[in-house]
């Protein structure tokens, strides 16, 4: 029902139903890696709860989802997901020693770090940039070998 400026009432309006839909977000992971990475000659990958992204990615499978090399210290991965999607992830250099986690990211003192956390956010444009830095890699100098 509506009321005009003269306080006249209209009849009842037809019922309308609507369903709120989550929006798709393009997420760009930009990662800066140590200068030692390029000399290894193997790709940087991302592993985590990636099945929550569009595209059928596996969960926690290091060495499977490769990033694109931009230059010697910059790599990138672009995916889409619904806004509000929570993610956990880590970066890993593809292994050649049988242990898929042999070259997982470490902190600046070569210590273990927790999983990176992200909640996908639509923002103003539907594009979310994630800018990460890997300080060191396990089993790659100065963190071994």
**Each residue's pLDDT tens digit, 83-103:** 999 999 999 999 888 889 999
pLDDT digits (tens, 9 = 90+) for 87-144: 999 999 998 888 899 999 999 999 999 999 999 999 999 999 999 999 999 999 999 8
Query: Do the domain assignments include residue 16?
Result: no
- Local structure of 10: helix, strand or coil: coil
* pTM of the model as a whole: 0.85
- Local structure of 38: helix, strand or coil: helix
What CATH number is associated with residue 104? Answer: 2.60.40.10
Query: Do the domain assignments include residue 2?
Result: no
Q: Which residues neighbour 20 within 8 Å (Cβ) at sequence distance 6 or greater?
A: none
**How many domains is the chain built from?**
1
CA end-to-end span of the chain: 76
């Amino acid at each position: 029902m509506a009321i005009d400026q003269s306080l006249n009432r209209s009849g009842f309006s037809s019922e309308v139903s609507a369903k709120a839909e989550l929006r798709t977000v393009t997420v760009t992971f930009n990662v800066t890696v140590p200068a030692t990475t390029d000399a290894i000659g193997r790709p940087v990958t991302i592993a985590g709860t990636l099945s929550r992204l569009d595209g059928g990615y596996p969960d926690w499978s290091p060495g499977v989802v490769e990033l694109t090399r931009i230059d010697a210290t910059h790599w990138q991965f672009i995916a889409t997901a619904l806004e509000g999607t929570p993610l956990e992830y880590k970066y890993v250099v593809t292994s050649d020693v049988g242990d898929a986690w042999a070259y997982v990211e470490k902190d600046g003192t070569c210590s273990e770090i927790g999983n990176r956390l992200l909640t996908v956010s639509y923002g103003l444009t539907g594009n979310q940039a994630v800018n990460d830095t890997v300080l060191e890699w396990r089993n790659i100098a100065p963190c071994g070998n």
